[in-house]
């Protein structure tokens, strides 16, 4: 039986994992390579890392960090943040990423999804979608939720699937960072309208939240704070899910 | 002592970095050497060949054709020489692939590569899933039975002889996750991404086959 994937997410600047809201009060949580290695060894099913400050100067160090991480883990690695064109995708895959996640660039230029999936295969193209409720509608937002696009969430999710995305990384900006649980309602809307895998992201604070995330039919559950702060070990989450009858890799 | 030569084919179908590193770690200090195959090669000068693959069947076949690898690889396989095909590297052992367009395969293990039957299924089949052994051997030992490996694919081996299936996996339907004919192995999952069990499988293939 296919297992529900538990995916720690590293927000990275250069080679450091950081935590911070909208670039304010940025706190260094640890060295990215060390943390990646730790998660791979302690039972993570996949790893996600995002360049959250993809400036020209920081990018080179970030790519080196991707290379170093790819060398020390042997689970799949998804890399995103600051991906704006096909050459960025090629650079990350060459650095050792198994999948590349595209967000704003896909919204601005949807053709990029098709071009990328034709060149590298759908299986390595993840489209990250940030969703937010606005005037009673679920909309796609970019720039960390600061810019609301004209795209309606479900229409966009279906569109990225038809353009060849292999997976959707779905973050609700209404629940992200609050630790009150995933946005079940938004996730269910997405999973019931596409048939590519959906990774749930944004809002995990307790063990039960992981279970509720599974109930949305998301096949991957992504979390950052609860792992980085050592509130839960990956094993703890998996044992809990297993006890609730959710298939996990133990 | 003469070193055994392992060929790793770079079919420009996904990144060979992880598998390359895994092999190097395994053969460190042992009488093996690793050569990357990127063009026509002399099939008699390799003891083992590994072909990892991602993406589409047709793409890999056309890449191998462009690189002039098909002909020596076919001769190598027809000789029943030792081979490990990973994901699409396994799928092209079949007669035909039906991804994107109908493509003739290497025709080493009879069967076709077709989509999962259920149209409502979440595709690709992506993530960790269990393999169930039909039988074991020196490479695929009993210790792998019921263990989880990492899969990413939308197409599966169909119309295959039961005797060529070493292990199967369940995702809505049963499908072959390890195939074997003589000295030729194919795995549908990615052992290089499957943590310790995956590395053990590659290790067994290199050291025990």
Supply the pLDDT for residue A180. 94
Task: Evaluate if residue A192 carries a pLDDT over 70.
Answer: yes
| Helix/strand/coil percentages in chain B, nearest 5 | 30, 35, 40
User: The complex's ipTM?
Assistant: 0.95
Supply the pLDDT for residue A23. 56
Task: Evaluate if residue B21 carries a pLDDT over 70.
Answer: yes
Q: How many helices (H) and strands (E) does chain A have?
A: 10, 12
What percent of chain B is predicted at pLDDT more than 90?
92
Nearest to A249 among B126, B148, B192 (CB): B148
CB B186 within 8 A of CB B90: yes
Catalytic site includes residue A130: yes
Supply the pLDDT for residue A177. 85
Nearest to A3 among B129, B195, B196 (CB): B129
Residues in chain A within 8 Å Cβ distance of B195:
40, 74-75
Task: Give Cα B10 distance to the centre of its chain.
Answer: 13
Q: Cα separations (Å) of B25 from A41, A178, B28, B47, B137?
A: 17, 43, 5, 18, 23
Give me the residues paired with residue B156 across strands.
B114
- pLDDT tens digits, A42-62: 999 999 999 998 888 889 999
Average pLDDT over residues B19-46: 96
Average pLDDT over residues B160-183: 98
What percent of chain A is predicted at pLDDT more than 90?
89
Helices (H), chain A: 32-41, 56-72, 86-95, 104-108, 111-120, 153-163, 184-191, 207-214, 225-228, 234-243
Domains plus CATH for chain A?
5-243 (3.20.20.70)
Q: Write down how long chain A is.
A: 250
CB A87 within 8 A of CB A80: no
**Which residue reads 């079919």 in tokens?**
B11
Residue B17 pLDDT level (bands cut at 50, 70, 90): confident
Mutate to test the interface with B, among A2, A63, A114, A118 (most CBs of B within 10 A): A2
Across the interface, do B14 and A40 touch by the CB < 8 Å criterion? no
* CATH number for position B50: 3.40.50.880
Supply the pLDDT for residue A22. 56
Average pLDDT over residues B147-172: 97
User: What is the least distance, in Å, from the CA of B3 to any CA of chain A?
Assistant: 26
Count of structural domains within chain B: 1
Supply the pLDDT for residue A20. 67
Task: Evaluate if residue B75 carries a pLDDT over 80.
Answer: yes
Supply the pLDDT for residue A19. 86
Q: Using alpha carbons, select from A53, A20, A47 the residue that is nearest to residue A32.
A: A47
Across the interface, do A75 and B150 touch by the CB < 8 Å criterion? yes
Check A45, A130, A174, A183 and give the catalytic one. A130
Check B99, B153, B192, B197 and give the catalytic one. B192
- pLDDT tens digits, A70-115: 999 999 999 999 999 999 999 999 999 999 999 999 999 999 999 9
What percent of chain A is predicted at pLDDT more than 70?
98
Average pLDDT over residues A165-173: 97
- pLDDT tens digits, B100-150: 899 999 999 999 999 999 999 999 999 999 999 999 999 999 999 999 999
Across the interface, do B126 and A166 touch by the CB < 8 Å criterion? yes
Cα separation, A128 vs A79, whole angstroms? 11
CB B147 within 8 A of CB B195: no
**Which residue reads 């990127």 in tokens?**
B38
CB B56 within 8 A of CB A121: yes
Cα separation, B57 vs B103, whole angstroms? 8
Domain with B169 in it: 4-208
Q: Using alpha carbons, select from A214, A132, A218 the residue that is nearest to residue A176.
A: A132
Q: For B182, phi and psi rounded to 5 degrees?
A: 60, -125
Supply the pLDDT for residue B55. 79
Q: Cα separations (Å) of B144 from B24, B38, B132, B139?
A: 22, 32, 8, 10
Catalytic site includes residue A11: yes
Mean pLDDT score of chain B, rounded to an integer?
Answer: 96
């Amino acid at each position: 039986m296919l297992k529900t994937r538990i995916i720690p997410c590293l927000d990275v600047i250069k080679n450091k994992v950081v935590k911070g809201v909208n670039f304010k009060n940025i706190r260094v949580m640890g060295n990215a390579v060390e943390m990646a290695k730790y998660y791979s060894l302690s039972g993570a099913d996949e790893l996600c890392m995002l360049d959250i400050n993809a400036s020209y100067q920081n990018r080179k160090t970030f790519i080196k960090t991707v290379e170093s991480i790819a060398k020390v883990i042997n689970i799949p690695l998804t890399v995103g943040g600051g991906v704006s064109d096909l050459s960025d995708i090629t650079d990350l895959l060459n650095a050792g990423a198994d999948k590349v996640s595209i967000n704003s660039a896909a919204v601005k230029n949807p053709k990029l999804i098709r071009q990328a999936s034709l060149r590298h295969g759908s299986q390595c193209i993840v489209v990250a979608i940030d969703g937010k409720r606005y005037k009673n509608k679920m909309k796609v937002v970019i720039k960390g939720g600061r810019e609301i696009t004209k795209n309606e969430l479900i229409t966009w999710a279906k569109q990225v699937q038809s353009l060849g995305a292999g997976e959707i990384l779905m973050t609700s900006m209404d629940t992200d960072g609050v630790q009150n649980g995933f946005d079940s309602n938004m996730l269910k809307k997405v999973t019931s309208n596409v048939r590519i895998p959906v990774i749930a992201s944004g809002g995990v604070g307790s063990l039960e939240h992981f279970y509720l995330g599974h109930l949305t039919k998301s096949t991957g559950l992504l979390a950052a704070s609860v792992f980085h702060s050592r509130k839960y070990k990956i094993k703890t989450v998996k044992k809990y899910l297993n006890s609730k009858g959710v298939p996990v890799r133990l | 002592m003469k070193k055994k030569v392992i060929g790793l084919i770079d079919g420009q179908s996904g990144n060979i970095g992880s598998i390359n590193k895994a092999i190097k770690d395994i053969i460190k200090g042992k009488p093996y050497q690793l050569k990357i195959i990127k063009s026509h090669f002399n099939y008699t000068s390799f003891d083992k060949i590994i072909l990892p693959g991602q993406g589409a069947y047709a793409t890999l076949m056309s890449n191998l054709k462009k690189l002039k690898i098909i002909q020596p690889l076919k001769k190598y396989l027809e000789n029943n020489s030792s081979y490990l095909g990973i994901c699409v590297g396994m799928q092209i052992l079949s007669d035909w692939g039906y991804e994107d367009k109908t493509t003739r395969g290497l025709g080493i293990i009879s069967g076709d590569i077709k989509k999962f039957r259920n149209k409502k299924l979440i595709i690709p089949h992506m993530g960790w899933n269990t393999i169930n052994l039909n039988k074991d051997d020196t490479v695929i030992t009993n210790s792998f039975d019921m263990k989880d490996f990492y899969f990413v694919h939308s197409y599966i081996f169909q119309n295959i002889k039961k005797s060529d299936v070493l292990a199967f996996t369940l995702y809505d339907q049963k499908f072959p996750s390890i195939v074997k004919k003589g000295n030729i192995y194919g795995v549908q999952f990615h052992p290089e991404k499957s943590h310790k069990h995956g590395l053990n499988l590659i290790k067994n293939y290199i050291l025990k086959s």
